[in-house]
Structure 1
Amino acid sequence: MLGQINDAFAALGGYAEPVGWLTLGLFTIAVVLEAVDREYARTVYVGAWIIFSVFALMLIQPFLVVDQSVVRGVGAILAVPLSLMAAKVFYEGRDSLFTLSRAIAIMGFIYVPFLMIDAIREPLILLVTNHTSTIIELLGYNPPVVTELSDLTAQQIPAGSNPDTTREITAKTQMYDNTFVFFNGDGTITYTILLDCTGIGSMAVVLGLVNGVSADWRRKLKASALAIGIIYVLNLVRNVFIALSYGHQYAHFFPDLTMTVWGLENSLRVSYIWADRIMAQSASVVAMLLIIWLMVRIVPEVMEPIEDLLYLLTGEEHDLSAALNVDTEEKQPDPAD
């Protein structure tokens, strides 16, 4: 029964890309219409939220089963009813959702170009790889960084080790994706820097929230620059932590239980699950909340879409602005500026 359900969701996930494009297209059209007629825009936004719920449904199996990510999987599961609720209350007249909807569109505008265009994706991945490698070396480790295992030289392979350098690195999605190689007896443990490892997804979320609100552009620019800097640095820490914990098996916790729960066949993956899927992703959620809190101190207007999210989650109004003593009224620029 579970196998049939998994197969059904896997088949559904095969249509995620075109549905994702349709979702972004509808949000884009709605943003344009908003400048002309808000009621027409409302109708398109409602349709976009409904399609977004379908898109989220299609991502559940890839996130939860294929990627083995509880955090992303639960996020996709929650996104389905939340999107449908957003469509419902938006249709019924909750005008504050114009801001949240606009923020969602901006998130897509920022993330999708990196997803689709090699000319900007490749430099970002290589930059993150180089900085991650530099930090790892400063910590006293020196794993080879290659694009294929066949690139390994005899000097890079430890004496007495005889790894299979002909096997493919299955995590790679692009030829320029670089991989850190750690040696385990005659085998290798590889950690590849992909687009998901650059922090661009988290940046898109925060930048969408900040730039989706109506506020002084100087405050939004300040908040955006601060968010990008903090996320980039924290993401480097995350990459270093995962690479070393996985490569040197520092996070080999509760192996039997972990292998059973995650359905693992290779015990070496236990450290990866703990380092990335459990510890790093959980820490990322906490870090995002703290970063958003910092953004609210600079751009208090960001509180509005956050309160809308809480309303969609609980069905009740929450005055976080008052609770945190945040004035969400748009601040006027200093005449001296």
Structure 2
Amino acid sequence: MPTPSAAIGSGSVAGLASAGSVPLASSTGGGLSDAIVWIAIGAFFAALALRWRGADRPARLTAAGGWLAFGTFWLTMVPYFYYEMQSPLETLLSVAALPLCAYTGYLMLQDRRSLFLLTKAVAFMGLIYLPAETIPFVREWLIETTAAQTHFGMELLGHSPGINEGANGYMSRFNFDPNETATGRTTYIVLSCTGLGSMAIFGGLIAAVSAPLKQKLSAFALAIGVIWFLNLIRNVFIGLASPLGWFQQDWLVSLMTTYLGAEPSRVSFLVSHNYIAQTLSVFALIGITYLVVKIVPEVLAPLEEVLFVLTGTEYDLFEALGVEEVRTDGGREPDN
């Protein structure tokens, strides 16, 4: 189900810059959306604290409220993903999030206490991701560092547009000359282009389970390294595809402008970002999950809970993947 990163992120970009640049990735709507997601994460931690103190019923009520707030947050993101980002995948996930989160809250009220592990994982995901949304110097450093690294990647491929100020106020915009590019557009980096959202997913999963510290640190370092490298490739790909018009073929422009309401000059960006990069990201997350599980198999426990919420069926991923079942994480508790 969606996590604080599933849009994978957050970065308060009001819209497209007037100079014809587009953000490389999506962001939260700010304001109300940010307040709601903070309430959700706060409720998750409050529920965990109540459970630690032995107040099981209040803990489940609080967690259920947190899940409802979390689903509401994603619902507020639907207009952004649909109208501004024109991303079918992110729009669909955001629409589906509210009923799925509400169902998760219902299951908690029905005494499925094993869902506290998933609640803990999402709480840690938020704790990793959300401060970068609200602490300006952290956000600035992440965005500008990612922009500089992406520019270096472009230079390795023979393109050196330079960097200037993007619509978000940071040195994050690739300064392609609009008169010398196929689309007259360029892109700029926002917070979710940093890969922090994906890093938060694995950080939250690893932090939530009980496993030897050395194994958890090894798994986290591996996940961060792979995500950083793949994210750099992704940013370079989109950052070049958009201005250079790699996907401006007439048939594709006609298809997307006629049936998807896209602006002709944005077709290369939309294809590279919303379809190619997002599809490959799904496979990348699956691959990284496999690598993490090899080091910390305990992360399968919260993933089992995700599958139960999605399908209503109990799965034993430990057995299915031939992984030794170590339940020191409290993943599955008897329903009594």
Q: Normalization by structure 2: what TM-score? A: 0.83
Question: Out of 126, 136, 142, which is 1:124 matched to?
Answer: 142
| 4+ aligned runs moved over 4 Å, structure 1 | none
- What is the SS of the residue equivalent to 1:17? helix
Could you say which residue in structure 1 is the equivalent of 2:73?
55
Shift, 1:183, TM fit: 3.0
Q: Return closer, same or farther for 1:329/1:199 CA change in 2, 3 Å cut-off.
A: same
Ranges in structure 1 where 5+ consecutive residues have no aligned partner? 1-11, 148-168, 333-337
Q: Deviations over 1:119-162 (max 9, x none)?
A: 21111112111111111111111112111xxxxxxxxxxxxxxx
Ranges in structure 2 where 5+ consecutive residues have no aligned partner? 1-28, 330-336
Could you say which residue in structure 2 is the equivalent of 1:307?
304
Question: Out of 220, 234, 241, which is 1:238 matched to?
Answer: 234
Instruction: Tell whether 2:119 aligns with 1:101.
Output: yes
Task: Kindly provide the amino acid, as one letter, of the partner of residue 191 in structure 1.
Answer: T
Q: Is the 8 A contact 1:13 1:61 kept in 2?
A: no
Question: Out of 178, 185, 190, which is 1:189 matched to?
Answer: 185
- What is the SS of the residue equivalent to 1:179? strand
Per mean C-alpha deviation after superposition, the further-off stretch among 253-262 and 82-91 is 253-262
Structure possessing the higher radius of gyration over alpha carbons: 1
| Number of aligned residues | 296
Task: Kindly provide the amino acid, as one letter, of the partner of residue 235 in structure 1.
Answer: N
Instruction: Tell whether 2:10 aligns with 1:16.
Output: no
- Aligned equivalents of 2:85, 2:114: Cα separation in 1: 34
Could you say which residue in structure 2 is the equivalent of 1:27?
44
Shift, 1:81, TM fit: 1.5
Question: Out of 246, 249, 252, which is 2:245 matched to?
Answer: 249
Could you say which residue in structure 2 is the equivalent of 1:295?
292
Larger RCO, structures 1/2 (Cα 8 Å, 6+ apart): 2
- What is the SS of the residue equivalent to 1:178? strand
Instruction: Indicate the percent of aligned positions where both proteins have the same amino acid.
Output: 38
Q: Is the 8 A contact 1:255 1:270 kept in 2?
A: yes
Q: Is the 8 A contact 2:50 2:59 kept in 1?
A: yes
Q: Deviations over 1:191-239 (max 9, x none)?
A: 1011111000111111111111122222111111111111111110000
Could you say which residue in structure 2 is the equivalent of 1:228?
224
Matches within 5 A, 1:195-234: 195-234=191-230
Q: Return closer, same or farther for 1:314/1:196 CA change in 2, 3 Å cut-off.
A: same
Task: Kindly provide the amino acid, as one letter, of the partner of residue 253 in structure 2.
Answer: P
Question: Out of 82, 93, 112, which is 2:100 matched to?
Answer: 82
